[in-house]
Every structure is written in structure tokens, then in C-alpha cells.
Chains A and B, each alone.
Chain A
Amino acid sequence: MKKGGLKEARPQLIAVENLSFSYDKRVLALDRASMSIPRGRKVVILGANGAGKSTLFLHLNGILRPKSGRVLVEGQEVEYSRSHLSELRKKVGIIFQDPDQQLFSVNVFQDISFGPMNLKYPRAEVKRRVEQAMEITRVADLQGRPTHQLSHGQKKRVAIAGVLAMDPEVIILDEPTASLEPCLVEEMMQLFETLHQAGKTLIMSTHDMDLAYGWADLCFVLNQGRVVAHGSPEEIFSDQPLLRQNNLQQPWVLKVREKLTAMGLLAASICPPRTEAQLFAAMNCIDSSGMKSNLSPELYLASNTTAKS
């Protein structure tokens, strides 16, 4: 029905307007921050530690109240009455960085059931949701184990299941890949891809530039509580001064691509690769005969010895 209304554009899923907040009245943790996040996007929030990422997240879920400014979800200003908050927390879920912060129960099943129980679903429905969440995050086999016996990665998956069981539209991930092994990071990213395919809006903070660049389709840069830039990852990560000012770094795929372009091996016109696979695909076009003449074994050895001496 709503599709027919052409005049009225669908409101942004989340809009933050001139949001300010401070914990101790001296330093502003958020300083007139504004951003809007459309539905179904993969959003990355970049910024140094203490830039205000976690504080921002706690506002989106109604845990913190803005000192000034406002938060809108689906065009509605967030209200802090009990019933409104319950509605908001059903829509917006947060997965915290340290799973030990989130797991309060010794029992995996019970911990995951906490959210849906708070939403006052009937028992059978809670059970169904818990089982579904355990299936998506593949923790069903951990069900009989106490949480303190689980590894960090396993705890993380249980914590995610605890939020998924509430079936939120927006999932906020506070540094979800921090202190995970590389293969677990990959597994985690696949899980997020599944959630993205299912139509969820994902908002992630991370210090992993390569990951952010390859994954996101919208980036925000926070610095000292302010949103200093936003745009596509291509825009953000090709802006060298911006990266320098905010202590961010260029992803390695872009560095390699720039080097190859400078060497004349890649055409400057090809669109910048986002991932390793895209870069390698672009590199396949490199004329291998040219490579050979440039890098003969003798030359390679000679360059090596000169580098050493």
C-alpha cells in the first residue's frame, strides 16, 4: 500500500540529529553527531578508541538518553517510556564486544531465551526462536555446556544468538571480530552476510580497515564525538588526508592497486577493487610477457643484493 504514495518518501530507518552526550559533563562523548542509515544496508562506523562509537550505539537502542539532539527510528522520535523502549529494543539489537558482558546465565539455552522471554512471547514461540537462532549461529551442539567452558569464539556466537532470537531489524555489532582467529572472522562474516541477505540492517564498528572496506556499503567516520565524514567505502578510503586526520589506514588492496598503477601495470581507469578476489582478477589482465622482461631472475637477484648492501 505504502509503495503507491510517491510523494511521501519512506523515512530513513535510523536518523540521528545533532546528538550530544557526555558522561561526566566535561568531555563530550558525542558532539552534535548526525547521520542517517537506510534500511538493509551494511554500515561501518570507523574511528579511534574513544571516538564515541559505543556511546552512539547505546543511544540507538535507548540505553542512553541524548543530552541534546534526537534519535529517530522509522521517522519516529525515540520515546523513553517503558512500552516504547521495549518496542525499540525489539527492533534494534546490540551485540557487545565482550561476550562475557552479555552472557549472564551459565546455560546457553537459557541465555538465548532471555530476549524473547522479555518480549513476552508464549513458551512454544520462545523455544522455536531460540532453536532457530542456535541453528543460524551454529551453537546447537553447545547447548549442554556451561557458558564458562566455552571458547571466546563460541561465547561470541552464543551472544549473537541471544540477540537474533529477538529477531531485530537492525543489528549493531560492536567490534565483532576483535580478538577472533582469522578463520573465525571469516565464519563470522559469512554469518553477517546471511543476515544481510535476510534483509537485516547491520551496523558495525571495527578497527580492521581491510574488513571494513571489503564489507561495508556505507561508512561513517567518527572523531571526538563528531561525524566527520560519510560516504561509500571507495570515497572514504581514497581520501588520504581524511584517513590521516582520523588515524585510519588505507586497506592493503588499495595500496597494492596504487603501486601497480604507478608501475604502469594496471590501468588507472579500472574501478578500485574492494576485495582480494577483485584485485587478483584485475591483476590477471596484466600482460605477463611484460612482467617477465621486467623481472628476470638476474634482475631480481641483483635488486636483492643491492638492497642488502
Chain B
Amino acid sequence: MIGIADQAYANTWRIFHPRDKMAFALTTMILGLISGVTACLGIFAAMSYLTVIRAQVPGRFFLRLYLIPFCFLAMGALSVALTLSADAAAALWAIRLGGYCLGFTPAGIDQAALLLARSGAAVSCLFFLALTTPWEDINGQLERWRVPYLLIEMMTLVYRFIFIFWQQAVTIHTAQAARLGHLDFQTSLRSLGCLISSLFVQTIDRTHTMYNSLVARGYTDSLRVLEEERLPTPWSTKLGFILFDLVLLGLVLVKGSVVS
């Protein structure tokens, strides 16, 4: 989480205006969700290229990020691929369970592959955006897109507090470990409980003090800030975005892969 935020500040595409990046990532994500396996692989390749080669996010970091969603995806795909049916004839491989048999059918495997490809493509769009665009840029753009202000404000504070609480949690954890709070499973569990309850109390305390400090600087109803100026995305890149999405759209329309 913190690594993602750091990359969002360190990459070379940070200087670009968030509008084009966000529009591209969102459109591609939506198109990816209705595309076939090949198109999804194309999306994955394009997003990896943009993130790693163009924005210069370290490739190893980018791939390692996939580990987390991949674990979930693999489990989901596996359960989709497994088919429970009455006759074993259609299955490539199956085990008998009483009157039924549980196994892999070509249709099931196809479906699992499609699920895997679409989710992978969507995740790559999300990673592209998250790794190249700092949070406040996304925020500012959402505001221009007329997302309700309350929502944006909450996201701003939540985002900031994630880091504050992460540091707090690390400090508490270290203090507990220094007094043998994580010696074995049982003490670890108890310490974790203490850590969470202590974080909870601190949350309430911190909201009070944060509120006071905001009020001291004239906070009334909204967290208005001035955005830093950003460069427009180069025309060639914009053109690339548009062409890529048009090709995806064309593929969807021609092959009609929405249903498959």
C-alpha cells in the first residue's frame, strides 16, 4: 500500500494531468470487462508497457503487486473451472462423488480463463493508474467530474490516516515485541487485540485534535486546497490512448464477445 503511494510520487508520469490517465484507465477497464481473452492479454501488455517502460515504475515491483490479487483470482478461477455434473463424458478429468462427478470440462476451463484474463486486465488498469498518479491528483479530477464533495473529502482524510495509523501500528507492534508481546501464537493474538483497541482509542483522540487544527486554519465546511499545476499529456500519447480503446471497442463489436 505504502509502496504504491511512493511509486505514484516517484514515477516519470506523475507530472502529467490526471484527466487523460484516468479517462484512459477507466475506459480500458470497462472495455476489458467485456472483451475476450486475447484482447485482455493486449490490455495487460499495454498497461505493463505504459507503467514499466514509459512511467519507469520498477518492473519487479509491478509484477510483485500482482501476487495479492492473483491469489484471490486463482482461487476464484479454480472454483469456476471445476464443474459438478451428472455425466462424466464431457469432462477432461473428473472424480466420482456418489451419483455426481466433479471435474474440468472444456467449457469450464474456457470460462475460468476468461474470468482470469478479464480480472487481470482490470487489475492492470487499476495498477497503471495507482502507480502513475498521486492520490490528490485523482481527487482533484474526481472533483472536476462532479463526484459528491463529501465523498472526496472522506477519501482524502482516510488516505492520509492510513499512513498515520500504519506508523502508529508499527510503533505499538515494536513496543509490544520489545516486551515479548509476540513470543508465541497466544501472546501474539492477545497483543494484536490490544493493538487494535489502542488504535481505536487513538483514532477518536486524533480526529478531535485534527479537527481542531483544521478549524484553527479556518476550516468551515470543506477541505478546499489549491492544486499544483500539471503538464498536459503529449498529443502522441493521447492519440495512442484513443486508438487503443477504439481497437478494443472494434474487437468487442466484431466478435461480440460480451456474451462468451
Contacts and interface: CB of A to CB of B under 8 A. Distances in A.
Interface residues of A, number: 43
Interface majority SS (helix, strand, loop, mixed), chain A: helix
Contact of A130 (B2, B5, B157, B226): B226
Nearest to B209: A101
A90 B218 contact: yes
Contact of A148 (B157, B163, B218): B163
B210 A105 contact: no
Interface in A88-145: 89-90, 93-94, 96, 98, 100-107, 109-111, 113-119, 123, 126-127, 130, 143-145
Contact of B223 (A90, A104, A106, A143): A104
A118 B224 contact: yes
Interface string B121-143: 00000000000001110000000
Nearest to B228: A109
Nearest to A64: B212
A105 B218 contact: no
B157 A104 contact: yes
A148 B213 contact: no
A299 interface: no
Contacts of B224: 114, 117-118
A162 B226 contact: no
Nearest to B216: A94
Nearest to A116: B226
Contact of A166 (B6, B159, B212, B217): B217
A2 B3 CA distance: 59
Contact of B226 (A58, A98, A106, A123): A123
Nearest to B212: A63
B228 A110 contact: yes
Given A58-B216, A89-B218, A109-B226, 5 more contacts: A61-B216, A89-B215, A93-B216, A107-B134, A146-B134
The 10 A-B pairs with the shortest beta carbon distances in the complex, nearest first, are A118-B218, A113-B226, A148-B163, A110-B225, A115-B217, A117-B224, A102-B213, A107-B136, A94-B216, A101-B209
